[in-house]
A and B are shown apart, each in its own frame.
Chain A
């Protein structure tokens, strides 16, 4: 069964510092991979997605993620965080073989920004 692990429950970084949020997935074939962000009191917004092609994916708000098949990872990065990046981040996976399929989310990583 497919699953997603986000090992970091809560991360605090200083404003202007770099950020990496970890995501590991369990799935046999190449899946669709996503990162979503949920700001306080807001709905979920897609940051970026990967299915095929270049393993480094650019998203909105200056975020990027790298797909590493050998490590079953899809980590999210940002070179310099802003106070407005404080939010909860969710990694998600969906099978590539069928569009009629579930989308599974990780447990989330809450990001706090230190002034």
Chain B
């Protein structure tokens, strides 16, 4: 069974903390994505990566950075967490047919 695993289901962090969200896929996919999901706004792309060490900004990259040192792992970093980054974060991966496989999500609360 194909799998995208996000390291945490729930996280509570304080304002100003540096936050790491980790995602691992076992399908040898080239592409990996980070989205945030908010009610009424759907899934908004933060960053995506099409190869190791390669990344491109999505629609809402401000306040975030990413790291992809190995093909199977894609990390999202909140440099200094703020309350407006409280959200559900979804990681996904895809190959040439563009079908995205999603993790279960990380619900992040910044207090």
- Give A residues with C-beta under 8 Å from B: 6, 9, 32, 34, 36, 43-44, 46, 49, 51, 90, 92, 94, 99-108
Residues in A with CB closer than 8 Å to B96 are: 99
Task: Say whether B43 faces chain A, with CB atoms less than 8 Å apart.
Answer: yes
Residues in B with CB closer than 8 Å to A104 are: 45, 59
Contact of A100 among B50, B90, B100, B103 (CB under 8 A): B50
Return 5 A-B CB contacts under 8 Å, by A number. A9-B40, A51-B97, A103-B33, A103-B94, A105-B35
* In the bound complex, CA of A102 to CA of B31 (Å): 9
Residues in A with CB closer than 8 Å to B1 are: none
Interface string of B28-67 (1 = CB under 8 A from A): 0011010100001111110010110000101100000000
Q: Report whether B104 and A43 are in contact in the complex, using a CB–CB cutoff of 8 Å.
A: yes
Contact of B98 among A44, A103, A108 (CB under 8 A): A103
Q: With contacts defined as CB atoms under 8 Å apart, how many contacts are there between chain A and chain B in the complex?
A: 68
Q: Report whether B94 and A100 are in contact in the complex, using a CB–CB cutoff of 8 Å.
A: no
Total count of chain B residues near the partner, CB < 8 A: 29
Instruction: In the A-B complex, list the 10 residue pairs whose CB atoms are closest, starting with the nearest.
Output: A100-B50, A107-B42, A105-B43, A94-B98, A99-B96, A32-B98, A44-B102, A108-B42, A43-B104, A43-B102
Residues in B with CB closer than 8 Å to A107 are: 40-42
* In the bound complex, CA of A102 to CA of B60 (Å): 13
Chain B nearest CB from A24 CB (Å) reads: 14
Scan residues 64-105 of chain B and give those whose CB is less than 8 A from a CB of chain A: 90, 92, 94-100, 102-105
Q: A9-B40, A107-B42 are in contact. Are A99 and B35 (CB under 8 A)?
A: no
